[in-house]
Structure 1
Amino acid sequence: MKRDIEAVITSYNQGTMILEAVRSVCSQTLLPERIIIVDDGSTDKESLAVLGEMKNSPDFPVPVIIQFQENQGVSAARNTGIRSAHSSMVLVLDGDDRIEKEYIEKVYHLLLEHPSMVIASSWMRTFGTLDAIVRPSGGNIVPFLSHNCCPATHILRKKAFERCGGYDESMRSGFEDWDFFLSMLETAPDAHAGIVEKPLIQYRTSPVSANIKSMEKRRELMRYLIQKHFDSYRSNLADVLLDMEAISGFRLSGWENEMMYSIEKDQELSESAKDFMRNPSYGDGGMAAAVRIASARKQDGRG
């Protein structure tokens, strides 16, 4: 079956990975009307050869359109593809990722069932460096103000995309997805993001990926988001701070549990852990954690 949806896949020097992404879309239980590939100025010969072969291939079950542009970044490539789509819903997929066969069917129907939902996606299964299941939560704008709650691979309503102005093409250091989702969720008071609670995205991981490298500039990028979406942050300040406190507390608790486990197993603490015990942080729960850990060490006879 085909529905009122097209797929936009961005590409930049991704070799045969772009073919894997296209094949995953062509294997869907619910096919899109078209696949639009936007190549963002690839220079790699293998990548260009793969794109050339796909352009002339009769083997795909839906039309595959390839648009080439000078390198302008992933935001510009996505904007180009989405604006070229004629459908009311658009799947956005990076050229190095893949989707499971039911992704479009499940996520598309979630959007059909909830008219106020402006974006929707699913849980992710990572592969490559990390083998894990990641469970983003979706929701309204409030949780998105403290952390991104939706994968980059998603289906959007094109009307909301047009209202928010699309991806911010000045953001080339990362977090462009997070910023875009905030903009989409600001288009209506009841706008929200939906998540299918199944790992239907195959997300490629690498220590040199753009997503990982963007974390080096997290504070700088967050400052930009706060300034750009200041009204939303100001209106939900208490919830944002409490959400961030909950995230911080969860991480501190996990670290404390690891410390307790090391003590229980009579393992030597790392130098960074020892340094923390000598100089625990104050005012964020760190000192309380250090007291509990020191108490456990004394009871274990290692104080």
Structure 2
Amino acid sequence: MGSMASHQRIAQDVTAVVTACGQGTGLVESVESVLGQSVRPVRIIVVDDGSADRADVDAALHAPKTPESHAGDDADCVTIVRLDHVRLDHNSGVSAARNAGIALANTPYICVLDGGDRLLPHFVERTLPVLHDDTNVVAASGLLKCFGVLNGVVRPVGGTLADFLPRDCCPSACLLRRGLWERRGGYDESMREGFEDWEFHIGLLEAGGPDARIEVVDELLVNLRTLPGQSGTTYMERRSRALGRIISRHRESYAAHVESTALALDALAGDRLRMWEDAVQVHPELLQHSMHTRSFMGHPTFGDGGVEAAVRINRARCSAPFYPAE
């Protein structure tokens, strides 16, 4: 990562919690990104969530703590916690890992980071004043620069409780208030299929009161590692199951914002349909090679814009298509 600046300041009110489970050398890079902050957390807690290979965890714990590796206060800067193996796969889940790390912290602000992701050098410097200056801000983060299989910039928008009910609007890497983490009962450890950040952010906003919001600084502050994942169909099935669990746990909030949530979800679905429609028009070979696309064009869905999308796609493929009625 390079040498750390000698003028580095310490944030005495911030602890970083980095979760680790099979990220390989990415964990070392994550810890180094915290140590390389222009305003560095006073303590880093690395939570080893049942890693099969401890080598990279041990390497992360020996990352240089200052430009000259002084002893003294920095000698205990990095702390490791190893979770008990409560499941057959020797893994307790990221929610349990985060909760275990945050429980050990004694600072009012917690910087949460997944092993493999990296903070850009000014993350703490840019987000900490946001929480200092406005008690209604329950958490803060920044824009994401993707690396790995995707090269792009992701722009979460943050917002109020109503903004978070249809979708998550804050990265998992964020700076949050420890007191509100405790008030809302931590991360939901039963959510093992993902989307635990979404549920947690909703709970954090509920705990923060009617004026609570999550702020996303309009600046690149996080490097997000992207990996080959599951198919889009599998992802959406998992998201639907997660949304059901989230609604069940936060039923009062969804009931209070049912109209805005339904409209926002419908708008998101419409956006995805238009993007898919554009892709098929630009790449007509999808009609031959995509089973789902062929099925859709042969049997368009009704009542959700599906028929209209199929008409536009077919019109783009043919100069003046017309099929007689049977």
Q: Could you say whether these structures have the same fold, taking a TM-score greater than 0.5 normalized by the shorter chain as the test?
A: yes
Amino acid at match of 1:115: T
Cα deviation code 1:202-238 (max 9, x no counterpart): 11111248x9976552222221111111111111111
Amino acid at match of 2:247: I
Give 2:115's match in structure 1, choosing from 80, 95, 102: 95
Give 2:220's match in structure 1, choosing from 199, 202, 210: 199
CA distance in 1, matches of 2:54, 2:246: 37
**Residue in structure 1 matched with residue 305 of structure 2 by the alignment:** 285
CA distance in 1, matches of 2:65, 2:278: 56
Task: Give the 3-state SS of the residue equivalent to 2:210 in structure 1.
Answer: coil
Aligned length, in residue pairs: 299
Shift of 1:138: 0.8
Give 2:134's match in structure 1, choosing from 91, 98, 114: 114
**Residue in structure 2 matched with residue 66 of structure 1 by the alignment:** 80
Shift of 1:253: 1.3
**Residue in structure 2 matched with residue 20 of structure 1 by the alignment:** 29
Alpha-carbon spacing, 1:111–1:212, altered in 2? closer, same or farther (3 Å):
farther
Shift of 1:29: 1.0
**Residue in structure 2 matched with residue 80 of structure 1 by the alignment:** 100
**Contact 1:116–1:190, Cα closer than 8 Å, also in 2:** yes
Which 5+ residue runs of structure 1 have no aligned equivalent? none
**Contact 1:6–1:35, Cα closer than 8 Å, also in 2:** yes
For residues 19-58 of structure 1, the aligned pairs below 5 Å read 19-51=28-60, 53-54=62-63
Cα deviation code 1:8-58 (max 9, x no counterpart): 111123332211111101111111111111112222142354256459998
Amino acid at match of 1:65: T
**Contact 1:119–1:156, Cα closer than 8 Å, also in 2:** yes
**Contact 2:286–2:293, Cα closer than 8 Å, also in 1:** no
For residues 120-159 of structure 1, the aligned pairs below 5 Å read 120-159=140-179
Task: Give the 3-state SS of the residue equivalent to 2:42 in structure 1.
Answer: coil
Alpha-carbon spacing, 1:55–1:86, altered in 2? closer, same or farther (3 Å):
farther
CA distance in 2, matches of 1:5, 1:15: 26
Amino acid at match of 1:191: A
CA distance in 1, matches of 2:250, 2:262: 15
Cα deviation code 1:114-154 (max 9, x no counterpart): 22010111111111121121111110111211111111110
**Residue in structure 2 matched with residue 223 of structure 1 by the alignment:** 244
Amino acid at match of 1:2: I
Amino acid at match of 2:78: V
Alpha-carbon spacing, 1:172–1:274, altered in 2? closer, same or farther (3 Å):
closer
Task: Give the 3-state SS of the residue equivalent to 1:249 in structure 2.
Answer: helix
Alpha-carbon spacing, 1:56–1:184, altered in 2? closer, same or farther (3 Å):
closer
Shift of 1:298: 3.6
Alpha-carbon spacing, 1:153–1:273, altered in 2? closer, same or farther (3 Å):
same
**Contact 1:126–1:205, Cα closer than 8 Å, also in 2:** yes
Q: Does residue 254 of the first structure (1) align with residue 275 of the second (2)?
A: yes
**Residue in structure 2 matched with residue 2 of structure 1 by the alignment:** 10
Shift of 1:87: 1.4
CA distance in 2, matches of 1:194, 1:178: 15
* Identity across the alignment (%): 38
CA distance in 1, matches of 2:279, 2:229: 27
Amino acid at match of 1:223: G
**Contact 2:187–2:200, Cα closer than 8 Å, also in 1:** yes
Alpha-carbon spacing, 1:59–1:212, altered in 2? closer, same or farther (3 Å):
farther
For residues 172-211 of structure 1, the aligned pairs below 5 Å read 172-187=192-207, 188-208=209-229
**Residue in structure 2 matched with residue 269 of structure 1 by the alignment:** 287
Amino acid at match of 1:241: A
Alpha-carbon spacing, 1:163–1:49, altered in 2? closer, same or farther (3 Å):
closer
CA distance in 2, matches of 1:283, 1:216: 21
Which 5+ residue runs of structure 2 have no aligned equivalent? 1-8, 86-91
TM-score (norm 2): 0.83
TM-score (norm 1): 0.89
Give 2:187's match in structure 1, choosing from 162, 167, 176: 167
**Contact 1:55–1:65, Cα closer than 8 Å, also in 2:** no
